[in-house]
């Protein structure tokens, strides 16, 4: 049955393939960026062929570097940028339009009119999502309504819709498999997270022909057999999950209350809420965290649009640091900043504010303020925004005992200590901070029988460093009051 697992992580800016042995040690890994397309302000697209070519290239390279051929690989797991929407021809496999990326805002008006027509509550109660262009439904409707001839072809059953997971599965299987998993389906806004079915009322509301939709399976399931020549043989696809849900699996977040926070370009927090689909009173999202053996585990999710990208801003626009890792030593020597406050609301504010028109600011400058204060305050801002999410979760009844972190920014020890201080909660960084792609490998390993239980994943999880809160409650309160005041000054729709 082979001794390796192959995990594909198709992200927003790059594609990656990692080959693991059965003990989930990395054997080989390859990554490739692909172009972003910005046809108009607020529009973001990917060329589906560029996505596919990059996945093929990194898969071929990782297999080459591991000196692996198809029979050496037990199973494939796929994780992906979520919500991004594709439509392709079932005969030719050609897409009818570029992939409309999750960040794309072109359907803001159609969301607004659905809201005015009073559909928000129904949508929220069925899908756990907020009526926002972020999710797939209005993007899919846009393709049907704006690309010549597409609606008629969709109604005739000759087209297929998918998020990136389904698209890759279709291509890998040579057009034989059209399926998705429940975690990806839960981000389309067409899937009822309580019944675990595509929802007829939602399909009608968004005017989506049912013939377009993929089958929805567990995250660990038999999705199909990959036969693409880039693999040099046949390998079953046995795991699938959206990137944030895969990270929760990679972090072994199987028990209710367990919470992971991923710090890449943005920050995404998911708390496992067990069998309960907790409805947020604080504008957080309810989502399928995972579905294994037919059992759904729900999650509460919140995100901060700007996390690591604020550090890129310091480097690329402000030009006050040479590289992201330098911020650690600068913050170390500067210490906690309590006068200067950076609010990096470059793209509005996400949960729990949902204020798309807010913009960033630097407040509290005095004659002595310099770049070191601004850099340190930017790291602090990422922690404050995490605090706002975690506080919203706590208000909804979920208070994690520990936060498990991953993503590129968690290399920064100063940031993690400050995060623990501001959250007043211990923060743990695992040895393997690549939780997303690891989660995809775990899911495939489950179906293949390489892993028999989630306990094996839990015991596999190793802590690299734990950061315990050390800050006095007076200082924490003072800092958070300063932050809250700063946020209220920059909000457009406060
Ligand atoms: P993504 O998967 O979203 O591309 P990664 O998980 O690779 O992101 O994380 C990269 C981000 O982390 C970048 O935005 C970068 O600015 C930030 N980053 C990397 N190292 C550090 C560091 N030592 N301190 C602060 N931020 C960092």
Residue by residue, DSSP assigns 421-484 as HHHTS-EEEES---HHHHHHHHHHHHHHTS---HHHHHHH--EEEEE---S-HHHHHHHHHHHH
Q: Residue 349 has what pLDDT?
A: 85
Q: Residue 347 has what pLDDT?
A: 77
Q: Which atom of ligand 1 is nearest to the CA of 315?
A: 16
Q: Residue 493 has what pLDDT?
A: 63
For ligand 1, atom 9: residue with the closest CA: 408
Query: What residues does each domain of the chain span?
Result: 4-244, 252-430+462-494
Q: What is the whole-number distance in angstroms between the Cα of residue 325 and the centre of ligand 1?
A: 9
For 181, 244, 454, the CA distances from 459, given in Å and listed in that order, are 25, 21, 9
Is 4-244's fold the same as 252-430+462-494's? Answer: yes
Q: Residue 494 has what pLDDT?
A: 57
Q: What is the whole-number distance in angstroms between the Cα of residue 18 and the centre of ligand 1?
A: 19
Contact (Cβ atoms closer than 8 angstroms) between residue 19 and residue 31: no
Q: What is the whole-number distance in angstroms between the Cα of residue 395 and the centre of ligand 1?
A: 29
Three-state DSSP class for 103? coil
For ligand 1, atom 2: residue with the closest CA: 264
Q: What is the whole-number distance in angstroms between the Cα of residue 195 and the centre of ligand 1?
A: 38
DSSP letter string, 259-319: EEEEESSSEEEEEEEET--PPPSSSPEEEEEEEETTEEEEEEEEEES-SHHHHHHHHHTS-
Q: What is the whole-number distance in angstroms between the Cα of residue 252 and the centre of ligand 1?
A: 22
Taking the C-alpha atoms of residue 446 and residue 295, their distance in angstroms, rounded to an integer, is 14
Q: Which atom of ligand 1 is nearest to the CA of 13?
A: 4
Best mutation site among 409, 437, 465 for ligand 1 pocket (most ligand atoms within 8 Å of CB): 409
Q: What is the whole-number distance in angstroms between the Cα of residue 321 and the centre of ligand 1?
A: 14
Q: Pairing mode, if any, of strands 191-192 and 179-181?
A: unpaired
Three-state DSSP class for 78? strand
For ligand 1, atom 14: residue with the closest CA: 308
Q: Residue 375 has what pLDDT?
A: 98
The CATH fold assigned to 4-244 is Nucleotidyltransferase; domain 5 (3.30.420)
| Residue 458 burial by Cβ neighbours in a 10 Å radius (0-12, 13-18, 19+) | middle
For ligand 1, atom 15: residue with the closest CA: 308
Taking the C-alpha atoms of residue 400 and residue 387, their distance in angstroms, rounded to an integer, is 12
Look-up: residue for tokens 């950061």?
467
Q: What is the whole-number distance in angstroms between the Cα of residue 387 and the centre of ligand 1?
A: 19
Smallest Cα–Cα separation from 128: which of 43, 184, 193?
193
Q: What is the whole-number distance in angstroms between the Cα of residue 116 and the centre of ligand 1?
A: 39
Q: Which CATH class is domain 252-430+462-494?
A: alpha beta
Cis preceding linkage at 456, omega within 30: no
Encode the chain (494 residues) as per-residue pLDDT tens digits.
Answer: 789 999 999 998 899 999 999 999 999 999 998 998 999 888 889 999 999 999 999 999 999 999 999 999 999 999 999 999 999 999 999 999 999 999 888 998 999 999 999 999 999 999 999 998 989 999 999 999 999 999 999 999 999 999 999 999 999 999 999 999 999 999 999 999 999 999 999 999 999 999 999 999 999 999 999 999 999 999 999 999 999 999 999 999 999 999 999 998 889 999 999 999 999 999 899 999 999 999 999 999 998 888 999 999 999 999 999 999 999 999 999 999 999 999 999 878 887 888 877 889 999 999 999 999 999 999 999 999 999 999 999 999 999 999 999 998 999 999 999 999 999 999 999 998 899 999 999 999 999 999 998 999 999 999 999 999 999 999 999 999 999 999 999 987 65
Q: What is the whole-number distance in angstroms between the Cα of residue 326 and the centre of ligand 1?
A: 12
Q: What is the whole-number distance in angstroms between the Cα of residue 422 and the centre of ligand 1?
A: 20
For ligand 1, atom 21: residue with the closest CA: 409
Q: Which atom of ligand 1 is nearest to the CA of 307?
A: 14
Q: Which atom of ligand 1 is nearest to the CA of 265?
A: 3
Tokens for 457, please give them: 């994943």
For ligand 1, atom 27: residue with the closest CA: 409
Q: Which residues line ligand 1 (CB under 6 A)?
A: 11, 13, 264-265, 308-309, 311-312, 324-325, 327-328, 407-409, 411-412
Q: Which atom of ligand 1 is nearest to the CA of 325?
A: 23
Smallest Cα–Cα separation from 404: which of 382, 435, 383?
435
């Amino acid at each position: 049955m082979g001794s390796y697992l192959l995990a594909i992580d198709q992200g927003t800016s790059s594609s990656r393939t990692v080959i693991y042995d059965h003990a989930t040690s990395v054997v080989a890994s390859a990554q490739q960026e692909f172009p972003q397309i910005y046809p108009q302000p607020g529009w973001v697209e990917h060329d589906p062929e560029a996505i596919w070519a990059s996945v093929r290239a990194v898969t071929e390279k990782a297999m080459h570097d591991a000196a692996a051929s198809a029979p050496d690989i037990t199973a494939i797991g796929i994780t992906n940028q979520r919500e991004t929407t594709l439509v392709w021809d079932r005969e030719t496999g050609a897409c009818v339009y570029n992939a409309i990326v999750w960040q794309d805002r072109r359907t803001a008006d159609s969301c607004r009119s659905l809201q005015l027509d009073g559909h928000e509550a129904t949508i929220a109660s069925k899908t756990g999502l907020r009526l926002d262009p972020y999710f797939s439904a209005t993007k899919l409707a846009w393709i049907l309504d704006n690309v010549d001839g597409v609606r008629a072809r969709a109604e005739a059953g000759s087209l297929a819709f998918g998020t990136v997971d389904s698209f890759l599965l279709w291509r890998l299987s040579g057009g034989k498999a059209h399926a998705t998993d429940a975690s990806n389906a839960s981000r389309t806004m067409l899937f009822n997270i309580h019944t675990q079915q595509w929802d007829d009322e939602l399909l009608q509301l968004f005017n989506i022909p049912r013939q377009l939709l993929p089958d929805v399976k567990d995250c660990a399931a038999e999705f199909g057999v990959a036969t693409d020549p880039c693999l040099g043989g046949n390998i079953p696809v046995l795991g699938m999950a959206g990137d944030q849900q895969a990270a929760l699996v990679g972090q072994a977040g199987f028990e209710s209350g367990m919470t992971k926070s991923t710090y890449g370009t943005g920050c995404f927090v998911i708390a496992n809420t067990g069998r309960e689909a907790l409805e947020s009173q604080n504008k957080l999202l309810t989502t399928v965290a995972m579905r294994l053996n037919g059992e759904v585990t729900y999650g509460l999710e919140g995100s901060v649009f700007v996390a690591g990208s604020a550090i890129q801003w310091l480097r690329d626009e402000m030009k006050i640091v040479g590289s992201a890792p330098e911020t650690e030593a600068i913050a170390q020597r500067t210490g906690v900043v309590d006068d200067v406050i950076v609010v990096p609301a470059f793209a509005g504010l996400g949960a729990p504010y949902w204020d798309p028109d807010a913009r960033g600011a630097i407040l509290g400058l005095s004659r002595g303020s310099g770049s070191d204060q601004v850099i340190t305050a930017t790291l602090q801002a990422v922690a404050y925004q995490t605090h706002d999410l975690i506080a919203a979760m706590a208000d909804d009844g979920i208070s994690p005992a520990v936060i498990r972190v991953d993503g590129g920014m968690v290399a920064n020890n100063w940031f993690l200590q400050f995060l623990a201080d501001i959250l007043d909660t211990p923060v743990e960084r695992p040895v393997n901070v690549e939780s997303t792609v690891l989660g995809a490998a775990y899911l495939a390993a489950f179906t293949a029988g390489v892993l028999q239980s989630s306990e094996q994943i839990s015991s596999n999880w190793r802590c690299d460093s734990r950061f315990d809160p050390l800050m006095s409650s007076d200082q924490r309160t003072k800092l958070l009051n300063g932050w809250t005041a700063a946020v209220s000054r920059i909000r457009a729709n406060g």
